[in-house]
Amino acid sequence: MTAPQTGKTNLLALNRPQMEAFFESIGEKKFRAHQVMKWVHFFGVNDFEAMSNLGKVLRTRLAEVAEIRAPEIALQSFSEDGTRKWVVRLDNGNCVETVFIPDGERGTLCVSSQVGCALDCSFCSTGKQGFQRDLTVDEIIGQVWLAHRSFGVPDNRGHRHITNVVMMGMGEPLLNFENVITAMEIMKDDLGYGVAKKRVTLSTSGIVPKMYELYDRIDVALAVSLHAPNDELRNELVPVNKKYPLADLIAACKEYVTKFNDSRRVTMEYVLLDGVNDKFEHAEQLIELLKDVPSKINLIPFNPFPSSGYKRPNGLRIRAFQERLQKAGFVTTIRTTRGEDIDAACGQLVGQVQDRTRRAEQWQAKIQDKHNKKIPLSDASAANR
């Protein structure tokens, strides 16, 4: 928790018990921890001098041993539809992306959990970037902090712009388990971002053992990237399926909802790829697969990126797929594509990843072949425009 660069404790990384322990360790009472959490996460303050209800001595002491340090904003884009995207630069120069999607009273922040992703789903540009590393808690919460601050200081009635958080940015959150849990605790905490438990959603490609652990650790909404109704196709689209096949994944989903013993459902995400997984037979198989799982289905029309090899189905095909599922009794929504003009749509987030798996190089070679021109790796995000 101590930042290697400064030797100070970054308070953005601490959940409530950790913050209390930190204040106890410097000889202060618990309530100080609560005051400081409110300054940090509610008022978006990063300067101890601004914390007017702390005495001068404590403020000076805090500045010596602690810091409130979020990643830097490398780029900020605003879409015509109100969507905002931040490219956030981490200490070692890697970048990840964070997206805010306003929708009436609702404001959803899509947060990244890793630099790149190791799982290499065939239709996902993040996967094509390869994998560099997990984000730390302060880097995950730093994204929420930056977004929250971008709306200015909230008034004292407590109006917040961010009402929902989805762990659907870059990376597989269940493969950065501990950091993601701590970050989600801070998101849910009233002294953190006060997001209701049903409004914090973790999306996973199906890391089955971690799905069982999740229940024991935190109460959040679960979304599963299903994308195919049979193992053969899912092995191709979501390669982690070879390790955790559909029967195990479906069992884990059932157990998750049953254990909570409330009316919750798992959201099944299904990206629609023209001619690949959007046929009538796929809808039929999906209905069979999900018949005993309390679930709702979220269809995501594929968002293209260069050399993906996939196409988005036309509107009629998408509607027909939806209607078949609805007729079978499934609540089925189609995710509207937002922020396309700023490359903020699902699966388009690329950040800037210094890949350790050589996958980005292979992908770059593929694009190069196609366009017969060199795209520098450092410019990989431009390939997405």
Q: Which does 175 bind (CB under 5 to 8 A by kind): ligand SF4, ligand SAH, none?
A: none
* Residue 346, contacted partner among ligand SAH, ligand SF4, none, CB below 5-8 A by kind: ligand SAH
Q: Which of residues 95-134 bind ligand SF4 (CB under 6 A)?
A: 117, 119-121, 124, 126-127
Question: Hunting for tokens 């801070």 — which residue is that?
Answer: 186
Which residue among 67, 97, 172, 185 is the active-site one?
97
Burial (Cβ within 10 Å: 0-12, 13-18, ≥19) of residue 348: buried
User: Is 97 annotated as catalytic?
Assistant: yes
Element (H, E) at 264: none
Site for ligand SF4 in 150-169 (CB under 6 A): none
Query: Which spans in the chain are helix H?
Result: 16-25, 30-37, 56-65, 125-128, 137-149, 177-188, 208-217, 231-237, 246-260, 280-289, 315-327, 359-371
Q: Residue 282 carries which side chain, given as an amino acid letter?
A: H
Specify whether the CB–CB gap between 131 and 357 falls below 8 A.
yes
* Nearest Cα residue to 191 out of 308, 59, 56, 41: 41
| Residue of 97, 269, 278, 355 interacting with ligand SAH (CB under 6 A) | 269
**In this complex, which beta carbon is closest to ligand SAH, that of residue 37 or of residue 289?**
289
Smallest gap, in angstroms, from Cβ of residue 180 to ligand SAH? 11
- For the CB of residue 298, give the shortest distance to ligand SF4 in the complex, in Å: 14
Check: CB of residue 19 under 8 Å from CB of residue 41. no
Residue keyed to tokens 């200015």 = 152
Which residues are 84's β-sheet partners?
78, 100
Structural contact between residues 77 and 340, judged by C-beta atoms closer than 8 angstroms: no
Question: Applying CB under 6 A, what is the total number of residues that bind ligand SF4?
Answer: 11
Q: What angle do CA 307, 313, 317 make, to 5 degrees?
A: 165
Q: Which stretch binds ligand SAH (CB under 6 A): 24-32, 77-85, 213-221, 298-306?
A: 298-306
**Sole binder of ligand SAH in the list 10, 129, 225, 267 (CB under 6 A):** 225
Q: Which listed range, 19-27, 34-42, 79-87, 197-205, lies at the site for ligand SAH (CB under 6 A)?
A: 197-205
Task: Fill in the amino acid letter for 375.
Answer: I
At 59, which helix (H) or strand (E)?
helix 56-65
Nearer to ligand SAH, 139 or 269 (CB): 269
Q: Which does 36 bind (CB under 5 to 8 A by kind): ligand SAH, ligand SF4, none?
A: none
Q: Which of 163, 171, 131 is nearest to 144 (CA)?
A: 163
Q: According to CB under 6 A, which one of 347, 352, 363, 380 is a site residue for ligand SAH?
A: 347
Q: Which of 240, 203, 238, 245 is nearest to 224 (CA)?
A: 203
Select 44 or 206, whichever has its Cβ closest to ligand SAH. Answer: 206
225 in contact with ligand SF4 (CB under 6 A): yes
The minimum distance between CB 221 and ligand SAH, in angstroms, equals 13
Number of residues that bind ligand SAH (CB under 6 A): 16
Cα–Cα distance, 147 to 162 (Å, whole number): 8
302 binds ligand SAH (CB under 6 A): yes
To the nearest whole angstrom, how small is the minimum distance from the Cβ of residue 61 to ligand SAH?
A: 40
- Range 68-97, binding ligand SAH (CB under 6 A): none
Q: Is 346 a catalytic residue?
A: yes
Which of 172, 185, 343, 355 contacts ligand SF4 by CB under 6 A?
172
Q: Could you tell me the CA-to-CA distances from 279 to 94, 123, 246, 286, 321 in Å, in that order? A: 39, 17, 19, 11, 8
Cα 275 to Cα 248: distance, rounded to the nearest angstrom: 27
The single-letter code of the amino acid at 299 is L
Select the residue interacting with ligand SAH from 98, 203, 277, 364 (CB under 6 A): 203
In the complex, minimum distance from the CB of residue 206 to ligand SAH, in angstroms, rounded to a whole number: 8
What burial letters (b/e) apply to 87-109, b meaning 16+ CB within 10 Å?
bbbbeeebbbbbbbbbeeeebbb
Least CB distance from residue 223 to ligand SF4, whole Å? 11
| 18 scored as a contact of ligand SF4 (CB under 6 A) | no
At 63 the three-state DSSP class reads helix
Where do contacts with ligand SF4 occur on this chain (CB under 6 A)? 117, 119-121, 124, 126-127, 171-172, 205, 225
The residues assigned a catalytic role are: 97, 346
